[in-house]
Amino acid sequence: MTKRALITGVVGQDGSYLAELLLSKGYIVRGITRRASYPHTQRIDHLFKQHDDRDPATQFRVTYADLTDSSSLGNVLQEFEPTEVYNLAAQSHVGISFETGESTLDINAIGPFRLLDSIRRAGAKDVRYYQASSSEMFGASPPPQSEATPFLPQSPYGVSKVAAFYLTRMHRIAYGMFASNGILFNHESPRRGLNFVTRKITLSISQIVAGELDRIQLGNLDAKRDWGFSGDYVEGIWRILQHSEPDDFVIATGEMHTVRDFLGKTFGILDLDWEDFVTQTDRFLRPAEVPALLGDATKARKLLGWKPTVGFDELCRMMLESDLAAKGLTLDQAKAKAKLLKPRRRGA
Ligand SMILES: NC(=O)c1ccc[n+]([C@@H]2O[C@H](COP(=O)([O-])OP(=O)(O)OC[C@H]3O[C@@H](n4cnc5c(N)ncnc54)[C@H](OP(=O)(O)O)[C@@H]3O)[C@@H](O)[C@H]2O)c1
């Protein structure tokens, strides 16, 4: 039987990589997106080119639905009849969740409830459900963090994800649904949103080299994170739903770096000293910080056979190269331009 996957958040970073992965495995994929005043399908435009949306038998289609709108979710479930549901949609920015707490909770916590409840009400007990849970749920719990680590969320985002985590477990226990959580640690890519610290850094470097920007303003440079590659993590997401039983899994690299390390590595690729270009500002500090996240993915390695393939150095290079390429620059061309920058920045 052909598998049918519904992906919420398909126009997001992970949604786009997951759609690619599932299409390559022969799935029929339906993505949902909410209405925006300006098109923002850049991450999946290449998939529209490969799969003609006007063909009734197309393997890939995107329809409008919203995690804050139960009827839209019910409609798409009824019409598409998925065998697997990947709930990736979220207000996914931790810092912004302090400013939009109510809608973050609505989308990230009540949203998964609406989806799970619609699946249950449809009597679709065989549907496998994946919930995009997050290392931010661990918050202030000291590293390393595994499935057994207590949750101590430090933000509305973290709290919303804890609620969704338990709602997913509750549907598993109370109704026997195949509902699993992937507790993913930070994962990045050239498709990462522009206001996440890693992408902000690589994009800013490309702008500095292109002469469009002088300095980057950043908040907490001491935050320690376990950064992996989104392309690797969607493989973990898929494996979680192929497991023989529903369960909860940490997906992480098991390596921790500070924001300073990320700056050092990415600026270092162009032989630049990041301290010449970065201003630390309290403006971006959060009311409560998460000091250190380091995942222990032993369970996923053992039970799912999952492991990351892209390391920290490769991730830094991949993201920087992509942002430079968007400015029409190869790494060598950027290095040459960076050489001219150095004396100017140092006031020589
Ligand atoms: N990346 C990470 O490091 C990480 C780590 C742990 C967990 N997660 C979680 O994993 C999931 C995917 O992450 P990501 O990095 O791909 O995030 P992302 O790029 O921000 O994608 C999230 C998607 O959700 C959509 N969305 C937001 N509100 C919605 C609503 N009300 N109805 C329907 N769609 C809505 C967004 O649409 P718009 O484009 O219209 O805003 C966006 O396409 C998220 O749930 C995130 O919280 C991510």
Q: Which residues contact residue 232 at a Cβ distance below 8 angstroms, ignoring those fewer than 6 apart?
A: 187, 308, 309, 310
Residue 157 appears among annotated catalytic residues: yes
Percent above pLDDT 90 for the chain: 95
The one catalytic residue in 17, 86, 130, 157 is 157
Q: Is 174 in the pocket of ligand 1 (CB under 6 A)?
A: no
DSSP, residue by residue, 242-306: HSSS--EEEE--S--EEHHHHHHHHHHHTT--GGGTEEE-GGG--SS---B--B--HHHHHHH--
Give the CATH class of 4-188+227-251: alpha beta
User: How far, in Å, CA of 242 to CA of 234, rounded?
Assistant: 13
CATH domain 197-224+255-292+312-345 topology:
UDP-galactose 4-epimerase; domain 1 (3.90.25)
Domain with CATH 3.40.50.720 in the chain: 4-188+227-251
Domain with CATH 3.90.25.10 in the chain: 197-224+255-292+312-345
For residue 161, give the ligand 1 atom closest to its CA: 47
Report pLDDT for 347: 47
Q: Is 66 in the pocket of ligand 1 (CB under 6 A)?
A: yes
For residue 136, give the ligand 1 atom closest to its CA: 6
For residue 34, give the ligand 1 atom closest to its CA: 33
Task: Give per-residue pLDDT as tens, 37-90.
Answer: 998 999 999 999 999 988 999 999 999 999 999 999 999 999 999 999 999 999
Q: Is the entire prediction scored with pTM above 0.95?
A: yes
Gyration radius (Cα) of the chain, Å: 21
User: How far, in Å, CA of 225 to CA of 249, rounded?
Assistant: 18
Query: Which residue puts its alpha carbon closest to atom 21 of ligand 1?
Result: 12
